[in-house]
Amino acid sequence: MFPNTRSLFVWCLAAPLEVEGAILTSRPKPIVVSSSPPDNAGIPLDSFVSFSFELSSWPDFAGNLTHPNTFSYNLLNNIGQLQGSMPVARVGGNTQDIAIFDASQRTGLVGVVRPNISADYPTIITIGPSFFDSYKTMPKGMRYTHGFNLGANSSADRAATYASAAYACKAIGDNLAYWEYGNEPDLFFASGYRPFNYSEADYVSEWLNGTLHIEQVVKSACPSLKGTKFMAPSFAGVAANGYMTLDPVKVFKENLNADDNIGIISSHNYMGVSTSPGITLQGTLMNHTNVIAKAAAQLNVSRNIAALGGNLAPRVPFILGEHNSLARQGRPGLSNTFGAALWGVDWNVYLASQNISRSHMHQGTNYRYQSWQPIQTNLTDKGTKPPYYGNLAVAAMMAKPSASSILKITHLEASSQNTSFYTAHIDDVLSRILIVDLHTYNTTANNYTTNFPRPMVEHEFKLPKGCKSGQVQRLMANGSDAVTGITWDAKSYAYELDNGKGVRMFNVTCGESVEIDNKGGVKVQVPWSSAAIVSLEC
Ligand SMILES: *[C@@H]1O[C@H](CO)[C@@H](O)[C@H](O)[C@H]1NC(C)=O
Ligand SMILES: *[C@@H]1O[C@H](CO)[C@@H](O)[C@H](O)[C@H]1NC(C)=O
Ligand SMILES: *[C@@H]1O[C@H](CO)[C@@H](O)[C@H](O)[C@H]1NC(C)=O
Ligand SMILES: *[C@@H]1O[C@H](CO)[C@@H](O)[C@H](O)[C@H]1NC(C)=O
Ligand SMILES: *[C@@H]1O[C@H](CO)[C@@H](O)[C@H](O)[C@H]1NC(C)=O
Ligand SMILES: *[C@@H]1O[C@H](CO)[C@@H](O)[C@H](O)[C@H]1NC(C)=O
Ligand SMILES: *[C@@H]1O[C@H](CO)[C@@H](O)[C@H](O)[C@H]1NC(C)=O
Ligand SMILES: *[C@@H]1O[C@H](CO)[C@@H](O)[C@H](O)[C@H]1NC(C)=O
Ligand SMILES: *[C@@H]1O[C@H](CO)[C@@H](O)[C@H](O)[C@H]1NC(C)=O
Ligand SMILES: *[C@@H]1O[C@H](CO)[C@@H](O)[C@H](O)[C@H]1NC(C)=O
Ligand SMILES: *[C@@H]1O[C@H](CO)[C@@H](O)[C@H](O)[C@H]1NC(C)=O
Ligand SMILES: *[C@@H]1O[C@H](CO)[C@@H](O)[C@H](O)[C@H]1NC(C)=O
């Protein structure tokens, strides 16, 4: 359905990558890459690179029927073209449990920002029927997860939520991926939506009751819609800790899936909280050891839920339905830098290697960790931000030549705190190697570029017999602190250049190939603070 991205090499001039500083050798012996994937290789779902949109920002990102957002459309299409499947848009987040449906409201969304509660999103919100028009503006092939309000618990608000399901199902139609009922209910006490004694059993009974009502409304408003399942439980945390008051495993023990209406298990993750002290690019984000540690906590939840068996077997996929670098919308100087894009590549591909099967990175207007700013505001310029380039690189790693081919992602043991290695096998044939260099490299501070030219690390691999050629595509910028001048495969996706479509940059190396010797040896040079995918013909 989608063209193979390798055809790009045809019209790109090859030029060697410029060496600025020392060439360092990564390890004494070549990394042996196996011809077939190991038994425990991760098998991601299609649409692995997906997004989560803050509900109050969804009209900004998608636009509406009279004003569709063509910039978002182009950016989402780029991902779909690379990956071979369009992203799934989950619409939800904190404002999902604030938005009250009002069938008589003409405007899609009316929101009031109260800066003393949150400067980042409105905390009084009503949505009208035309809110759902935003589900009709996006590229063909997009699927959606709409998040219903569980936080508001008056009978009037509940009735309004159920009524909204009729508008939602008519607008989304067959493009529905899942419904969602409630965002981060383990924070409902902290948010003031429920008392401290709100228990797993209370949540499960409310959730079962509400999802039953939603299903009944959908059945009568959209009788032809089949298989409408929910994504759940969408908890912020991996365990109860006093602040987060519900345990994700306990809610399954309390039989959250009693009605067999959970299609996908969703958890949320942030590497830290943006306002916490001690958060750094190198220590928190560009740190493969920290990536493994954060993923381990999610994998523990996934395993413990799977171990309960019951009607969740055979294994309902476990995904991150909302995540990004640093909670509370990110921190400037960290979440909006090229370093955060490199973290995003390492983190997401690691998740895929461990069967965390889909990734919805969270987006919101003016958010510091956003992949793009969808509209011009007085806080943030409309534009493509560094994390988007990381999304492209992950999509390229997940590319499948056809919908029926099987992609397997493996994390290589040779990885260390500052460099990670992955392979992609397609239908059990070695297809790609990904190298992510996580050494921070400052361009603006400490006179780095003059006093400490950017080092280049040479990695040597031993490939299986029969691998003939290798093409290199790079995720590149001047350094980990860069917020502009980012490229994926020598293309810029800047808003100013072509409204988010890829534009070749002639000052960046492209069309590189690497030589494979007759024993399968191949050397790939990767500068600090960059990533490279080597596509192989094996
Ligand atoms: C991932 O899932 C596949 C298919 O179920 C399985 O064979 C493999 O062992 C799993 N790997 C991990 C790391 O969970
Ligand atoms: C559609 O979007 C435009 C531009 O943001 C806005 O002016 C208009 O009110 C929106 N229409 C509805 C029905 O919300
Ligand atoms: C926020 O400020 C408004 C007045 O601007 C006030 O009425 C309200 O109580 C404040 N809320 C909090 C949580 O401080
Ligand atoms: C309903 O929500 C309010 C806050 O909005 C809370 O005070 C109350 O305890 C909740 N009721 C129940 C039964 O959870
Ligand atoms: C929970 O606390 C509320 C008051 O905040 C009380 O009305 C309710 O009875 C308590 N529920 C249980 C099960 O203890
Ligand atoms: C289920 O929902 C209905 C409608 O909102 C409500 O009247 C009823 O009390 C709920 N039952 C439970 C057990 O929560
Ligand atoms: C990287 O993360 C690990 C695990 O969280 C931590 O122990 C280590 O100190 C971090 N490295 C740096 C350079 O901060
Ligand atoms: C794994 O989950 C169990 C049960 O939820 C919990 O008791 C344990 O501490 C967790 N272990 C890790 C390493 O997170
Ligand atoms: C920025 O825009 C918001 C929303 O349109 C408005 O409320 C605010 O006053 C503006 N701030 C400045 C400094 O112009
Ligand atoms: C990069 O510059 C920032 C800001 O001056 C500094 O905090 C950080 O330590 C520098 N990083 C390195 C690796 O020197
Ligand atoms: C950067 O270099 C300039 C000129 O060589 C020098 O004056 C300045 O002190 C240097 N700054 C740092 C942080 O090393
Ligand atoms: C290439 O040119 C663009 C646009 O002029 C600039 O932003 C970027 O930093 C340049 N890249 C390099 C590697 O010099």
Q: What is the 3-state secondary structure (H, E, C) of 19-72?
A: CCCCEEECCCCCEECCCCCCCCCECCCCCCEEEEEEHHHHHHHHECCCCECHHH
Question: How far does the centroid of ligand 9 lie from the alpha carbon of residue 316, in Å?
Answer: 44
Q: Which of 180, 184, 206, 322 is catalytic?
A: 322
Bridge partners of residue 461, in order along the sequence = 31, 522
Cβ–Cβ contacts within 10 Å for residue 466, how many? 12
Cβ–Cβ contacts within 10 Å for residue 231, how many? 26
Q: What is the pLDDT of residue 16?
A: 72
Structure tokens at 253: 């023990």
11-25, 256-270, 469-483: least confidently modelled range: 11-25
Q: What is the pLDDT of residue 198?
A: 98
Q: Which of 184, 200, 206, 512 is catalytic?
A: 200
Please write the tens of the pLDDT for every residue from 112-156: 999 999 999 999 999 999 999 999 999 899 999 999 999 999 999
Which ligand minimizes its atom distance to the CA of 114? 3
Question: Which class is domain 49-404?
Answer: alpha beta
Pocket of ligand 1 (CB under 6 A): 39-40, 42-43, 354-355
Return the higher-pLDDT residue of 385 and 17: 385
Quick check: 10 pLDDT over 50? no
| Residue with CA nearest ligand 12 atom 2 | 507
List Cβ neighbours of 93 (8 Å cut-off, separation of 6 or more): 52, 53, 54, 55, 147, 183, 322, 362, 364
Quick check: 2 pLDDT over 50? no
Domain with CATH 2.60.40.1180 in the chain: 23-41+408-537
**Element counts in the chain: helices (H) and strands (E):** 10, 26
Task: Give the residue, out of 20, 444, 508, with the most ligand 12 atoms within 8 A of its beta carbon, to mutate for a pocket test.
Answer: 508
Quick check: 27 pLDDT over 90? no
What is the amino acid identity at position 272?
Answer: G
Q: Are strands 372-373 and 383-384 parallel, antiparallel or unpaired?
A: antiparallel
List Cβ neighbours of 409 (8 Å cut-off, separation of 6 or more): 41, 42, 43, 44, 349, 352, 353, 397, 398, 422, 423, 424
Return the higher-pLDDT residue of 318 and 27: 318
List Cβ neighbours of 415 (8 Å cut-off, separation of 6 or more): 288, 421
Predicted TM-score (pTM) of this structure: 0.94
Mean pLDDT value across residues 467-491: 96
Q: Atom of ligand 7 at shortest distance to CA of 283?
A: 14
Q: What is the pLDDT of residue 439?
A: 97
Contact 132, 148 (CB under 8 A): no
What share of the chain in percent tops pLDDT 90? 89
Q: Atom of ligand 12 at shortest distance to CA of 492?
A: 3
Pocket of ligand 3 (CB under 6 A): 114, 116-117
What does the alpha-carbon distance between residue 11 and residue 221 come to, in Å, rounded to a whole number?
51
Please write the tens of the pLDDT for every residue from 394-443: 999 999 999 999 999 999 999 999 999 999 999 999 999 999 999 999 98
List Cβ neighbours of 283 (8 Å cut-off, separation of 6 or more): 290
Bridge partners of residue 537, in order along the sequence = 469
Question: How far does the centroid of ligand 10 lie from the alpha carbon of residue 442, in Å?
Answer: 6
Q: Are strands 143-148 and 124-127 parallel, antiparallel or unpaired?
A: unpaired
Q: Are strands 230-235 and 503-504 parallel, antiparallel or unpaired?
A: unpaired
Structure tokens at 476: 């590149």
Within its chain, how far is the Cα of 203 from the centroid?
Answer: 27
Domain with CATH 3.20.20.80 in the chain: 49-404
Contact 331, 270 (CB under 8 A): no
Q: What is the pLDDT of residue 1?
A: 28
Fold of the CATH domain 23-41+408-537:
Immunoglobulin-like (2.60.40)
Please state, rounded to an integer, the average pLDDT across all residues of the chain.
94
Quick check: 3 pLDDT over 60? no
Contact 419, 437 (CB under 8 A): yes
Closest CA to 143 of 223, 50, 67: 50
Q: What is the pLDDT of residue 8?
A: 40
CB of residue 158 inside a 6 A radius of ligand 4:
no
What does the alpha-carbon distance between residue 317 and residue 128 come to, in Å, rounded to a whole number?
33
Quick check: 89 pLDDT over 80? yes
Please write the tens of the pLDDT for every residue from 181-228: 999 999 999 999 999 999 999 999 999 999 999 999 999 999 999 878
What does the alpha-carbon distance between residue 491 and residue 457 come to, in Å, rounded to a whole number?
23
Q: Atom of ligand 3 at shortest distance to CA of 116?
A: 1
Confidence bin at 507 (pLDDT 50/70/90)? confident
Quick check: 447 pLDDT over 80? no
List Cβ neighbours of 41 (8 Å cut-off, separation of 6 or more): 353, 408, 409, 410, 425
What does the alpha-carbon distance between residue 223 and residue 214 come to, in Å, rounded to a whole number?
13
CB of residue 447 inside a 6 A radius of ligand 10:
no
Task: Give the residue, out of 194, 198, 209, with the most ligand 4 atoms within 8 A of its beta carbon, to mutate for a pocket test.
Answer: 194
Which residue, chain included where needed, has tokens 């994700």? 248
Q: What is the pLDDT of residue 21?
A: 85
Q: Atom of ligand 6 at shortest distance to CA of 158?
A: 5
Contact 126, 99 (CB under 8 A): yes
Structure tokens at 75: 């950016």
Confidence bin at 28 (pLDDT 50/70/90)? confident
Quick check: 100 pLDDT over 50? yes
Measured between alpha carbons, how far apart are the two ends of the chain, in Å?
23
List Cβ neighbours of 219 (8 Å cut-off, separation of 6 or more): none
Q: What is the pLDDT of residue 12?
A: 56
Bridge partners of residue 476, in order along the sequence = 487
Helix (H) / strand (E) containing 230: strand 230-235
Structure tokens at 60: 């900004």
What does the alpha-carbon distance between residue 295 and residue 272 come to, in Å, rounded to a whole number?
13
Q: Atom of ligand 3 at shortest distance to CA of 114?
A: 1
Quick check: 314 pLDDT over 80? no
Q: Are strands 176-181 and 230-235 parallel, antiparallel or unpaired?
A: parallel
Our answer to whether residue 413 is catalytic in this structure is no
What share of the chain in percent tops pLDDT 70? 96
Cα 116–118–119 angle (5° rounding)? Answer: 90
